[in-house]
Structures are given as C-alpha cells and as structure tokens.
Structure 1
C-alpha cells in the first residue's frame, strides 16, 4: 500500500509493521505477529525519541478503537489487524519501559476498549491480557490516583478481567469456562505483582475489592480436599520468579509474562488448574501486604462472602482463614485473627444467630489452633473483646447457639504461648470478669431472665477458663514431643535441642515442668465463691474447673505424690534442707495453703448452708457493667467515651468494687452455716459427690498442706453430721451422704500416706461398698454448654439411714503415728495430732485464707532496712536493686573527703518520706474501716563534710569491723546509715577519729 508523501514518520513506521495487502493480513494467522524487522525500527524510534511516544501511542489507540468496532461486526480483517496492533503495544511497553508512564494512557485505553468490545473472543482477550500484564510489570504505579483517565481505564480493565476470572455456570462448556477464567486470572496475576496495587495506599482497598471476589468464587466451588491437595502442590512446585521477584528486581530487569490460549486439540485446562491459579494470586496478595493491607484484604473477603453467601460453607471459611495466616508475612500475621474478631464485634448486635457468626467464630478458632506461629498478637485485647462479645450475646439470648463457638475461641488462645505469664494474665482477665458477673449479673435483657443470663454467662466464662488451661497444656505437650524428637535427632547427628529434660529423683522419674507460669492460687482464689452459687449448673461447671486446676495447674512446691498416688520422702533427691524448707512452708502457710483454707471453708458452707448464692440486696446499683460501661448512681450509663488512659485505668480497677462486694457476700455465706446439718440445707446429692471428689483430689495433689488444713475441716464436717435423723427421712439421707463422703476422703488419705490402718478402720466401721448415697460423676473434668445440668436430689427416704459411724479419733491417731507424715511435716506424733485436731470453723479458715501484711513486715524488720533506702513510697524491696555496684577504695576515699553523700543518691535524704509500713491494708480487712494516717519519717540533715556515720557505713559495706549481735554480711551491708540520736556520735573501736 503506497504511502502518502506527507505521512508522518511515526505513522509510516507503524504501517510498515502490518502486512501490505488484505490477503497477507488474513493469512497472518494463527500467530498474527507484526513484521519483526519493521517492529524493531518502530521500537528503536520510540525508545530514542521519548517525545514521539505519545504520538505513537495515540495512533495505535485510534487503530484499536476502529478495529474493535469493525471486529464486532465479524470483520475478519479488522480482527487480525487488532491482534497485530496489540502485539505492537506489548513490544513498545517492553522496549520503552523507562518511559512507560507516557504510554500508560494509550495502553490502558486500548486494553479497556478491547475487552469491552470482544468479551467472548478468547484469542483477543489473551492478547489484551498480555498487553495489560506488560504494563503492570514495568509501571511504578504513580499515575494511579493522579491521572483520572489512567485510573479510570485501569480500574475498568481490572474489573473486566475479574469478571472473566469468576465466569459462572452460564457457559456450559467447561473447557471454555476454564480457559476464560485462566485468561482473567493471568491478568490479575500481573495486577497483584505490580506496583500499581501497592504504590497508592488509598487505592489498595478498591483494587482488592475487585480482585478478591474473583478469586473466591472458584475457590468456594472446589472441595476442601482438592484445595489442600493444590496448596500442597504449590509448595512443591517452584513458583514463577515473576511473582516472587517483582518487588526486588528493578523495572529494567523484569520480564513480562506472555499469555496464550490453549491449543485446539489438546486436553483443556482442568478445574485444578484454575484453583491453582486462584491460590497463587491470593497467596501473593497476602505475602506482599503489610498489616494494614492485610486488614483491607480481609475486609474484601468478608464483603465477598456476604455477597456470594460463602458464610454458609464454614469448612471453606476455616480453610481460608488458616491459609490467610500461613501466607501472610510472619510479622503481620496477627492482623488476620484480629480482623476476624473485629468483624465478630461488628455483628454482635444482630439478634438472630446467622451463618456469619458461626463461621467467623470457627475461623478464629481455626487460626489459633493451626500450627502457624503468630507474633505481635495482643492476646489480652482479643480475650477482652471475646468476653465482651459473649456477655452481650448472653444478654440478648442466653440460649444463643454461637456461644459454644465463642468459648472455643477463648480456649484456643491457649495454643499460642509466647511469654511465661501469658496464660496467667489471660486467666486473670477471665477471673476478673467472672467476679463482676457473679456479683452484678449481666447488663441488658429482660428482668425475668436476669438469673438465667447470669448463670449462662458464668458457665461460658468457666468453660473458656477451663478450655484455656487445657489448650495451654496441650501446647506444652506438643512442644515436649517436639523436643523429644529433637533429642533423638541430635543423638543421630542432628541439631541438638533440649528445652525440657527428664530429672531422676529417688525411684521415680519426674518431667521438668514447662517454661510457662502456672496460674497462681492467689489469682484462682477469687473464683472459689462459685462453689456456693445458687445455680447448680454453675456449681457443677466450677467443680469440674477446680478439679482440673488442682490436678494440672496448681503449683505444688515440694508437695506432690509419686506416680502411684503415694506421698513419699526422697532423701537423695530432696535433701534435708529442702525437706525442712517444704515443711516450714506448709506449717507457716503460703499462697497454696491460703487457697486450701478458703476452699475448705466454701466446701463446708456448701455442705451445711441453708441458702446459697447472692441475695438481690448485694447487687448494688453502682456495679461496673459487664460490657465495659459504668452505671452511675442516678441510673445514667457512661459509655466510656474518654481517653485511652481512662479506659485502661477503668479496666485495671473494674474488679475492685466487685471484689469488695464479694468479700462482704462471702462473709454472709459463712454466717449462714451451722454447726449441725438440717433438712433445710441446700446441697444436693450431686453436690456432696463433688465435695467428696474435690477433697480427695486435694489430699492426692497437695498431701502435706491438705493434712494440715483439710483434716480439721473433715473432723468438723463429720461432727456436723452427728444429728438425730430418725424422724426426718431427708435429713437421714443427707446424713448418710456426708458420712459416706467423709469415709471416701479418709480412704484417699490412707492411700496417699500409705497407711493401711486407716483403710482397715474404715472397712471395720461397716461402710457399704455396693450401695452408695452419692451419684456417679464424669471421669474427666469437662464443661458442656449444650446441656443444662440437673442435680440428683434427695428423695422420699428410699435410701436407708446410715448404719455405720466412723471413729475419727482413731483415724487421726493412725495418721499421726505415720512416720512419713511426721517426716514430711517435721512434727512429732503428739504435735501432728494436736495440729490436726485444732478447733476448726469456716470463719477461722476464711481468716487464714487472707494474706496478712505482717509477713511482709517481718522480712523487712529482719533485714533492718534503714529509712534512707526507703525515701520513696515503696512497699517492696525493689529499692535495694540500686546497690548493684561493688564497694571499693574509691567509696571509702569519697566518704572521708565528704563527697559520698553527693555521689551516692541512696545515702541522701532528699525529703521526708511518708511511711505506710505501720498500717494494715484496708482491702485486706474491709470491715475495719481503717484510714491511712501518714507517718512522716525523721528528716536527716545532709552533712557538709565527711561524717563519722558515712565512713562507718562504707567500712561496714566493705566488711571491715565488728557487728553487734551477728557477723552476717547481709546485716553488715544493711546496717542503719545514721543514728537518730545525734548525741551518740562518738565512734567505738576499732574505728578511731
């Protein structure tokens, strides 16, 4: 075709790339490529004359628009010309990559027109996708959001390719549908591997909102087994370097992928090929996103599942959540479960339980139970949000079907332990909410359902607490198994790893405990009032929880049985000093002893009290709301709209009013007890069965402490059953249950201390072995929210009155004469018997369960801490850590020259301090009504020159000289720095002036 003499040079170069006649143009197939030599001239011209690129692009865009319009009318010549034009655009994008921004407008406009005009022509779509991928490969994305035309065409093209990727079942031919989807997914692959997606943060969310739905449709059409298979193959198959290295390679070194349709006659692409392409695109998005971007991707997933009703496939949802966490970068994985919990909170006020609630809860659990490690995860915030969500759902409907799933979410947090005190912190959060709900109930809901909502909320929190501990133990066991495998591997020549080890002690092997901190008795002690709750379901669930705590969680410092359940002393393993230390702790009391005192007190209340639970009067109007709001005295509710510091302070102190009221109500519970049981006692036969199991477990798990705290309570409970029950069949059954309870516990005591005489005495008393007044209980501690526990109550006298009576004095004498018990406690037979037969009441046990500040004072008085070291309000000995430097000649020289008081801040009395050491805590004894009366310590005048007291202090710290009363270096280093009496300033030998 002859050229016009005035045709511009760039147009002549473009025309030369096409066949010169119509016949040659139609016969250019099937490749439809431009003339290679002429194409090289055109690209060379454009690359060396950037000012002409705009004209070249505009000319090609004009040709694309004209050819598309004619190709829609089935013009074969225009279709062939269109394919060649698209190839020219792709070559220009590749060769002019440095100036791709100049070509962007023409390239994107051409692609958008092409896919919109010929959406069913796979060959044209593949060629357009190739051009689009070339542009996404070399662009820096800066034009997105800046140039309106480029942004519009890019988003429109992206939407069209996304529509091809999720082509639905309207296309009957599976091969055509799969090919069309693969073409669209190829273009989306280029988009997610481009800077255009990540350069403009405000345009990231709109793009993923288009891309993600196109990926989820094929994924949710595939079975989960196939998804697992394909994802596993993705790991084995080497991925495309184009996806992995696009962010690290400079644009000049990148290579754009070429997209081709399937060749006719070959076997068409399968559904697995489509699934593989979808998973690669989705994994690439997660792999290259930061935390904020991951949140946007998750939001796009939520919106897509809502539109396509994907929440109705919880199995697919859980699989997707696990993979999302696995694909995300290590430091940003926390964004996945965090966003899931936030989405749950957004749907918390929907009255009816929907598939969205159940699927989201299952997704949270799936992420936490997966082996994928998570870091930077704020477990305290997540558990607080989940607890608030549970309480809100309970207030709306106590029978909400999503509650068990939410409890599983809380339990699954125990599978990720990242610091030693994490489980204790999470348990403390749960226990503080338990205390609030126990006293204040659940805010919201109908008045008639208040008690039902309260009981359900308590059961949910208890189930979450127990599940949290069990999951943490499973986590430790899994790590123990891994460590054992690592040891075996190291023996075989592998990498050594020994986070745990087996320690031989005596005749039995003991496993070194895990590195996480166990929940302390002081933390758990706040829950013991639930033993006396008015709702039996709460009592049963709490009994299961406390049994698990006693068996698996409670720290047992020097107080544990061997594997066969017998308490033995191992002289070689423990040694005399350790035995004496353990005995001293058991006698003087510690956190575990205080816990057992409180436990025995509440168990006695449960066995004998005529009423259980909290009265309505105890629930005051100023109670903190369970959903985080604060109810004021005038009935108004503060929604917590304040600063973050105010909210944090409120969360730290929210349990204080509830704890104060609990102490008051607990005292009322103790006041309801009686020295003798009556027919009006509230405990059921099931309650007595749990009391029996709990007391037996206490003696099995902490034999020494239980010996000193539990045996007196057992004697008191036996004395409470000594009543005349001939005229009252219900009282007779209650009496029989208590006597059987006491007998079972004594049998456990005899087994623990290897004292067969106790078992013989119990059998001689005539305890029946076939019939029982106590119902059977589940073997393992378990809480099921799907059922409502029903207690076994005492009937109409079908059970005969007890025909046996234990001689507890003989049983105590047998136990006191046991050599193992005497050696474990460090007491002789007479002292041990006197200790076990001390008068016991629930009031006295409750007082023993309260930590007295005098113990702390005793340590401080022994150490003789001078007021100089306590110049700030500090009840601890943390101020002693300032003396972390050794004392040398320099200190003595400075003291002699008078500079020591200036260089050592610990020797300076800057201001009189306020001492609170002489006052007991108002929280410990709330009924005393004591107020703090500050005592001003005596001010010390700062010496201007070297004083004799300073010199003497440095000499004492050096260990030079004589100490009155003792030669202990500890007393020498902590001797008083200055005498309060200024008259006695003379030095005594060996010091001389």
Structure 2
C-alpha cells in the first residue's frame, strides 16, 4: 500500500518485493520483481547521488530481517534473501560507483553471516553479494575508510571460519557445503584489488585465508592433493577471475554461488580440496616477491598453530607447490623465506619438528623441476653453513644436521651461470679452512670441542660432495627428486668402482614425484687450485674426517677434476689417438704435462700429503700446535709476545685468546702453508712403528693413488711414479722384531705393488704385471681391508686397526719387488713415450728423479714469472716481510721493461740516460724554499726571498762508453757472446779510405 510522503527511493525498493502474503511462495529462488528491479537499478545508475540513500535503506531492512529471522520468522528470512539479491543487482549495475554502496553492502553482509551462520542458503546469498563487491571494487577504501575496512576484515574472517568448519556438530555433507561457501567467498577476495591495494593490511588478510585453507590441505592425503593440483592445471579457473586486474570494471563478471539441492549427493572431500588449492594458488599467482614473503610467514604461523610441522610430507608438498604457483620472477622468495625462518630457530637448545620440516621443505624446493631465477645461491649457502655450524656447536649429534647437509647439496640442482658451482664450492672450502684451523666457537653447551670440529668438517665435506653430485645430475637421465632423497648417506663419495652421479639429500621420500629434474649443464668444473686448499684434511687428526675426505677427493678425481688432454679410453688404457689428436695437440698435451699446470700442481700436493699420511709419526694438530701455528708468521717466527705470561702479568687463557685473534689476521693460505710444513716435519725417510696411520688409512691411500693413475695418467706418471719409488724406499726397513712395523711394511708393499699394476694396465705394459706376480704371488689375497663404500655423515666410522687383521703373508714382508726393473719396463712403453714426448732414456731419468715431500710441496706452488731476459737475473728482490699479503701479485711489482731502440740511442747521444732524468737545454734553475722565512714571520713584505739551490748546468753529452753500450745492445757495435740481441742487418763492408778520398 502506498504511504503518503514516502520518499521515491523507498518506494522503488518496496516495489521490488512481492506482497507480504506471497513472500513464502516466492521460493525457492526468492528473487525480487524483475520489472521493478530494473526500474530501481536504472534510477540508481542515472542518479549516483541516491546510491547512498538506497544502500542505507537496504541495510536497515537487512538489520530488521536478520533480527526477526534469527527468532524463527520465515517471512523475514525470505525478505532477507530478496534484499540481498537487490543489493547484488545494485552492485552489478552501479559498478562504477561501487564505493558509494560499499559501506552499506559490507555491513549487510557482516550482519547476515553473523546472525544466520547455520543457514546455508542465506550464507550462499551473502557470499554471492560479497564476491560481487570484491569483483568490482578498486580497493581504495580499504585502509582509508575505517568502517568499510572493519566490516570487510570481519566478513573475510567469518568466511574463513566457514572454510574450515569441522564435522563434530555437522555431518560430512553439511561440513563440505559450508566449506565450499566459505571458499567461494575467499576466491572472490584473492582475485580482488581489495587484497593487494592496501599493503599494510595484506598480511592480515592473507593470515585469514591461509589458516582456513591449510586445515583441508593437511586433512587429506598427499595423493589427493596431487590429483587436485592436476585438475587445477588441466581445468583452470574462469578467465574473468584470472585476468581480473587487467579488465576494466565494465567487463568484469562476478561469480554466483549456489548450494546443492537437498537430496542430491553432496560435495566430496576432493571437491573441497580442489577449491582450497584454487584459492591458495590464486594468492601466489597474483603476488610479488614482498607479498610472497608475507604469504610464507602466514603459512608458518598457521602451521605453528595447527601443529602442521609434524607432517613433513605435507609441508614439502606445500613448499614445492608454492614455488610452482608463484610468478616466474618472484619464485626465489619461497626458498629464501624458508631459509630465513630456519635461521630464526638456530639457537634452539633442542631440535623440533619445525627444524626438520623446514629443512625438508628447502630441499624439496631445490630438487623440484621448478626453475628459480634470481636466486642468490651465495647468500643461501652462506646462511645454511652458518646454521649448520651453529647447530654443531650446540650439539654435534643434532638430528637436523643431515637435513641441512641435504639443503646445501640440493643447491647444485639449480645452475644458472657457468662458474656457479665453482663459486659455491669456493665458499664451502673457505669455511672448511676456517673450521679446520680455528675450530668452532663455543655453542653454549658442554659438547667436546674436538668432536664438534670433526662433525662440522664432515658435514661440510658431505655438502661439498653432494653439491657436485647434484650439479652432475643435471645431465643424468636417472636423477629424480626421489633418488636425491635416498642417496644422502653416500654424500661423502664412494670408491672408484661404485661412484654414481646422484645427489645426496637427507629427506628420504619427501620430495615426491614431480618428474625428472634433468637439465643440460654447461657449468665450469671446480678447478684444482680451489680444491687444493682442502688437501690438509687427508692428514687430519680425526679418522672420520680423513675417511670422509678420502671419499670426497675420490669423487673429485673421477667426476669433477678437469682432464685437459689427459684421459684413458673406455677399457682404461691410455693410448695416443693420431686421428683425434694431431701432432700439435699431442705436443701441447705433452708440454703441459712436463712443464706443469694447475692439475699437476694439485697432484704434487696430493702426493706429498699421501706420503705424510703413510709415514708421519702424528697426524692433525693438537691443542698446542694449533695455537702455535696460528700465531706463527709466514717465516715461522712466533708473533705472540709471551712476556706477560713469563712475568706473571697474564694467564694462559689470555695468551690463547691473543693467539686466536692474531691467527685471524693471517690469510688462510699462509696458515695452510704453516700446517703443511708442520706435518712434513713429522715424516721420515723410513717408516717406523710409531706412525699414526691405521690400516683403513692405507686402504684409502691405495684407492686414491689408483684413481690418480686411472683418471690422469700422464700427469700421474710424471708426478706419482717418483713418489711411489720414495714410498717403496721408505718400506725397506728391518721389521723382524716388531709386529706393528711388519704390518706397516706389508701395507706399503701392497700399495706399491697394486699401484704398479694399475700403471701397467693404464699404459698397456703387461711386463709390469708379470714382474709383480712373480715377486709377490700372494697379492691376490689382499692384506689391507676394503674401504667402506657408504659412510654415514653423522656417525663417525671406526678405523680398522692392524691388530684386527690377520698376520701379513710372507711375500709382502720379504718383498723382492725390483722397482728398477719396473721403471725400465715403463720407460720402454711406446704409449708412455708418445704421451710425454720423451725417449726411453729421458723418460727413465725423469721418473727416477729423487723425490721428497718438501720438493713436491714446492712444486705445488705456482711460481711467478719474474725473470728478466735482458739482464739474465731476477728483477724482484723483495724483503720477506712484504710477502705477508695473501694473493700478492708479483707482476704488479715488476719493473717496466722495454726493448732498446733508436730513442735510447738518441737519449744517450744527448746525455739523457732515462726519461726520469731529463737534461733540458734551456732548463731553468730550480728554486729551493729550504732557507726561506716563514710567512707568519715575514714582516711587512710578506714575500719570499728566492735562493738558488744550485746553478744551472749546461747539458752534457754522453760519454763514449755510454753510447757504445747502447750501440752494442742494438747489435751495431762489437758483439760479444753474452749478448742476447743480434743485429737485424749485416754490417757494411770496410772500404778503402784512399779510394773514398779519390771519389770525393
């Protein structure tokens, strides 16, 4: 009935409702009258100033209907549904002026969902209205209008509660329907500008969404998640939702939310899971790097609240999908934030599920096939090493250590520039050097410092080897995430016959089945100069460190070390290939092998340390030697003043801390040289019973020497055979009275014999094998134990002692092996002669050169080119104190030299010996201010009285001796036998002076 004086906008709204008696019969659609609704929307679209009044009137009706419907009034419920439909129509038709309707619309949505939270039909209609607003809004009111912001956040939080409704008070069908309604509203929010415009509120909104979505994600199995994610990939969302930010408001379409009809089969858990993943994927797809970091932090908070860290398999799946869903240029934010979160808990006294799951998530992201551009691998590995060392310092048996090692190893799966693996390896080796020399800082616990140091070294070594394995797996067709997870226990390497290029990871079965991660790799191999700084670990005092390093260096020799012009055929024989290697190539290879390069210097150092390991009386650095070496200068003098301790004014702790501080001032390479010299001083030209190497150490020596000759035959021939002769000479001792000495002698004899057999096979020289088989017939039954194939990264292996072995056979003790005959057989090998470019006599002389570990260590250091060809002497004579700077370029200190030419002759004739001392003809006399009075005492004149320091001298012509020297250098004058310059033109013939005068 028309009421007089009723405003026009109220009349238009009232006309949209059916009569009061027909409200209940308007179901189940509960739609407003279409003709009157069109009139209302036309009125609002053409009079934007009336939109606020229309919204206020509709909000008033919603408030009244909710109050009555909550009391059980069915007509009020029907009226509420119609009111919500009217609001949706106004929002759609007035989308350009949606901001004028936002306050009333959001207030109506909030009133509805809080008053009738159990009515699914009402919730669906309210969710449809909410999605309409999120579709058309530009988000500028969020964070500006306090009322709109408050109602929006409250509505979003309430829909998030519906998305994680549990089934305790509801059956499964009602629970799934309620979750779908809430997830539909969240889908509108994550595809709206309201989420992304107000950056200060992004974190709060995302926290509501992630906490709701993760409930369903962690309730289902990973297999269900995989199926749902596949459905999302095959059937993407509506293009209106995926392109909402690029479409103008007139072209946007809001989704309608419907509830299943009663009696029909309700939605399954798979449907709910798919809806959850669509919401979560949309959040990542439309976020930048900063926003992705906020999403990850919200996920962490939600996992903490729901104890999701205790499900590592779900956590790994979530981390992989987060990286996959994020935009290509922002994916690096996912692993970066994971590492940062892991670092936040590095000081925890005990390891929790959070640490293990986070480490597994990092490995899962790196081993997934998703590329990660813009990833700062240097920062990642630095943070991971810091975390690893911190956890070791707290507890050397921490359960998270294998997982962190796996994280470091998995970085090798992402190679984006040629030198990346070499750079990462250099950082690992640098940290290895620091830990080897200085140990670990105290971690606040009571752990043994030596045990912490050994565990840290073994973990870093495992990560270094795993990094190479991961990089190699790029070109391997069988390297998948699952295999990477199962091979972490072999990260330390394996013997030559069992090494497989697979990556190591601690998370067995946590990487899932995302397919093969196979990428072509053109990376640079780790250079021997970088790896050479680690060789001192061969002689470390802890056997576990020595064993792990032996496996690592084996893997490096077989798979990583550059082998330019030095390799064997498939059958293990080194042959010269005339078709593949021309004369120039062969000559170049032979020249490199003879003169030496980085690989040759590396082998010299490696042979020196192997000899030390076999013969040294003690290994490693004890507490006193570490401090003493740390406080030594490059020339071996102590740099620590102990006078305070001697005089009683200081304590030993003060001196130790002073030693530690001073040791950090010296470059690591100089300290490495001091360690090497310290180790070499413990060796002897003959083995003794007091040597420290165990039977397992000798087994590692045998494996490494065999690998050297198999992988680098030419370089090993020239650098290793002299060492083999020295090792054989060291075993020639009388061991009749000492069982330990007998065992060591037999071990060295077995090493020498078996390495010679490898040499004979490599150079196709069967005569060597015949000589050895006659001299040592019992070589088929080895005396040394086999090195372990798989070393656990955390549990230190136990060495096999000589006391645990059977007595050595007599042929190994009384060995009649004639090394001179073996050397003659090798020198007569045609393959060896062609590979080295030397004849038999020269090759035998080269191989039999006297060898000592000191000479090999000197040959391992690159010598600068500082020889003056003209003077025949060294032009660099620098005090030893100037050489304490690491990586000092000797070339930069060299004197500038140039050839002698016409300019030098002209300068000599004019009396100018060099450009630095010109004698100008009209040169002005120099003025000296030495005896001038100061300006402050100059009196009234304020002028300087010039004083001539020396009279001007007339230029003096050069003497005959100076000119003669220049002429001799030019080759014009008289030549002597020592001159290195020759005249370019032949001297003119002498003519008769009388004939010359007659001609004149």
| Equivalent residue number for residue 753 of structure 1 | 763
**Inter-partner Cα distance in structure 2 for 1:916 and 1:96:** 88
**Cα pair 1:729 1:796 within 8 Å, conserved:** no
Label 1:721 to 1:935 Cα distance change in 2 as closer, same or farther (>3 A).
closer
Which of 819, 823, 839 aligns to 2:830? It is 819
**Cα pair 2:173 2:267 within 8 Å, conserved:** yes
RMSD between aligned residues: 3.4
**Inter-partner Cα distance in structure 2 for 1:580 and 1:333:** 50
Cα deviations across residues 168-217 of structure 1 (Å, max 9, x unaligned)? 23234100000000000000000000000011111111110111111110
Cα deviations across residues 957-979 of structure 1 (Å, max 9, x unaligned)? xxxxxxxxxxxxxxxxxxxxxxx
Does the alignment pair 1:314 with 2:308?
Answer: no
Paired residue secondary structure (1:27): helix
**Inter-partner Cα distance in structure 1 for 2:731 and 2:665:** 37
| Equivalent residue number for residue 485 of structure 1 | none
**Cα pair 1:729 1:797 within 8 Å, conserved:** no
Does the alignment pair 1:595 with 2:594?
Answer: no
1:930 to partner: Cα distance: 13
**Inter-partner Cα distance in structure 2 for 1:279 and 1:108:** 26
Does the alignment pair 1:683 with 2:693?
Answer: yes
| Equivalent residue number for residue 583 of structure 1 | 590
**Inter-partner Cα distance in structure 1 for 2:523 and 2:879:** 33
Cα deviations across residues 728-766 of structure 1 (Å, max 9, x unaligned)? 011101111110111110010000000000000000002
Q: How does 1:289-300 map to 2 (within 5 A)?
A: 289-300=287-298
1:435 to partner: Cα distance: 0.3
- The range that moved more, 380-389 or 233-242, is 233-242
| Equivalent residue number for residue 42 of structure 1 | 40
Does the alignment pair 1:345 with 2:343?
Answer: yes
**Cα pair 1:618 1:665 within 8 Å, conserved:** no
Which of 770, 774, 781 aligns to 2:784? It is 774
**Inter-partner Cα distance in structure 2 for 1:209 and 1:162:** 10
Paired residue secondary structure (2:381): helix
Label 1:245 to 1:513 Cα distance change in 2 as closer, same or farther (>3 A).
closer
| Equivalent residue number for residue 488 of structure 1 | none
Label 1:57 to 1:134 Cα distance change in 2 as closer, same or farther (>3 A).
same
Label 1:557 to 1:985 Cα distance change in 2 as closer, same or farther (>3 A).
closer
Which of 698, 702, 706 aligns to 1:696? It is 706
**Inter-partner Cα distance in structure 2 for 1:528 and 1:426:** 18
**Cα pair 1:322 1:366 within 8 Å, conserved:** yes
1:477 to partner: Cα distance: 2.3
Label 1:547 to 1:281 Cα distance change in 2 as closer, same or farther (>3 A).
same
**Cα pair 2:722 2:850 within 8 Å, conserved:** yes
Label 1:515 to 1:533 Cα distance change in 2 as closer, same or farther (>3 A).
same
| Equivalent residue number for residue 408 of structure 1 | 406
**Cα pair 2:750 2:779 within 8 Å, conserved:** no
**Inter-partner Cα distance in structure 1 for 2:791 and 2:612:** 23
| Equivalent residue number for residue 792 of structure 1 | 800
| Equivalent residue number for residue 58 of structure 2 | 60
**Inter-partner Cα distance in structure 2 for 1:925 and 1:654:** 13
Paired residue secondary structure (2:764): coil
**Inter-partner Cα distance in structure 1 for 2:838 and 2:520:** 30
1:984 to partner: Cα distance: 11
| Equivalent residue number for residue 461 of structure 1 | 460
TM-score by length of 1: 0.81
**Cα pair 1:922 1:928 within 8 Å, conserved:** no
1:634 to partner: Cα distance: 9.3
Label 1:480 to 1:283 Cα distance change in 2 as closer, same or farther (>3 A).
closer
1:772 to partner: Cα distance: 2.2
**Cα pair 2:474 2:521 within 8 Å, conserved:** no
Does the alignment pair 1:616 with 2:623?
Answer: yes
Label 1:189 to 1:948 Cα distance change in 2 as closer, same or farther (>3 A).
farther
| Equivalent residue number for residue 273 of structure 2 | 275
Paired residue secondary structure (1:619): helix
Which of 26, 32, 44 aligns to 1:28? It is 26
1:264 to partner: Cα distance: 1.4
Does the alignment pair 1:305 with 2:292?
Answer: no
**Cα pair 1:922 1:930 within 8 Å, conserved:** no
| Equivalent residue number for residue 749 of structure 2 | 739
Label 1:929 to 1:353 Cα distance change in 2 as closer, same or farther (>3 A).
closer
1:658 to partner: Cα distance: 2.8
**Inter-partner Cα distance in structure 2 for 1:108 and 1:207:** 16
- The range that moved more, 825-834 or 918-927, is 918-927
1:663 to partner: Cα distance: 1.3
Which of 375, 393, 396 aligns to 1:395? It is 393
Which runs of 5 or more residues in structure 1 are unaligned?
482-511, 625-631, 641-652, 865-914, 941-946, 950-979
**Inter-partner Cα distance in structure 2 for 1:926 and 1:548:** 33
Q: How does 1:443-522 map to 2 (within 5 A)?
A: 443-445=441-443, 449-478=448-477, 515-522=522-529
Label 1:82 to 1:378 Cα distance change in 2 as closer, same or farther (>3 A).
same
1:475 to partner: Cα distance: 1.1
Label 1:583 to 1:439 Cα distance change in 2 as closer, same or farther (>3 A).
same
Label 1:438 to 1:935 Cα distance change in 2 as closer, same or farther (>3 A).
closer
Paired residue secondary structure (1:405): helix
Give the 4+ runs in structure 1 shifted more than 3 A: 445-448, 478-481, 617-624, 632-637, 653-656, 915-940, 980-990
Label 1:671 to 1:438 Cα distance change in 2 as closer, same or farther (>3 A).
same
**Inter-partner Cα distance in structure 2 for 1:480 and 1:232:** 23
Label 1:986 to 1:615 Cα distance change in 2 as closer, same or farther (>3 A).
closer
Paired residue secondary structure (2:735): coil
Label 1:609 to 1:371 Cα distance change in 2 as closer, same or farther (>3 A).
same
**Cα pair 1:432 1:655 within 8 Å, conserved:** no
**Cα pair 2:757 2:768 within 8 Å, conserved:** yes
Which of 549, 557, 568 aligns to 2:556? It is 549
**Inter-partner Cα distance in structure 2 for 1:917 and 1:129:** 84
Cα deviations across residues 282-305 of structure 1 (Å, max 9, x unaligned)? 001101100000000000000000
Which of 172, 176, 179 aligns to 2:177? It is 179
**Inter-partner Cα distance in structure 2 for 1:545 and 1:309:** 39
**Cα pair 1:435 1:655 within 8 Å, conserved:** no
1:767 to partner: Cα distance: 3.6
**Inter-partner Cα distance in structure 1 for 2:889 and 2:254:** 80
**Inter-partner Cα distance in structure 2 for 1:672 and 1:245:** 74
**Cα pair 1:852 1:924 within 8 Å, conserved:** no
| Equivalent residue number for residue 121 of structure 2 | 123
**Inter-partner Cα distance in structure 2 for 1:566 and 1:72:** 91
1:478 to partner: Cα distance: 4.3
Q: How does 1:819-968 map to 2 (within 5 A)?
A: 819-854=830-865, 857=866
1:927 to partner: Cα distance: 12
1:783 to partner: Cα distance: 4.1
Paired residue secondary structure (1:372): coil
**Inter-partner Cα distance in structure 2 for 1:655 and 1:570:** 51
| Equivalent residue number for residue 644 of structure 1 | none
Label 1:767 to 1:372 Cα distance change in 2 as closer, same or farther (>3 A).
same
**Inter-partner Cα distance in structure 1 for 2:576 and 2:888:** 46
Highest CA radius of gyration, 1 or 2? 2
| Count of residue correspondences | 849
1:666 to partner: Cα distance: 1.2
Label 1:272 to 1:813 Cα distance change in 2 as closer, same or farther (>3 A).
same
Q: How does 1:624-639 map to 2 (within 5 A)?
A: none
**Cα pair 2:773 2:779 within 8 Å, conserved:** no
| Equivalent residue number for residue 81 of structure 1 | 79
1:777 to partner: Cα distance: 2.0
**Inter-partner Cα distance in structure 2 for 1:847 and 1:413:** 36
1:986 to partner: Cα distance: 15
**Inter-partner Cα distance in structure 2 for 1:723 and 1:67:** 107
**Inter-partner Cα distance in structure 1 for 2:629 and 2:612:** 28
Does the alignment pair 1:421 with 2:419?
Answer: yes
Cα deviations across residues 493-513 of structure 1 (Å, max 9, x unaligned)? xxxxxxxxxxxxxxxxxxx99
1:948 to partner: Cα distance: 12
**Inter-partner Cα distance in structure 2 for 1:303 and 1:550:** 46
Which runs of 5 or more residues in structure 2 are unaligned?
481-518, 632-652, 900-905, 909-964, 973-982, 986-1000
Label 1:239 to 1:981 Cα distance change in 2 as closer, same or farther (>3 A).
farther
Label 1:101 to 1:283 Cα distance change in 2 as closer, same or farther (>3 A).
same
| Equivalent residue number for residue 365 of structure 1 | 363
| Equivalent residue number for residue 705 of structure 1 | 715
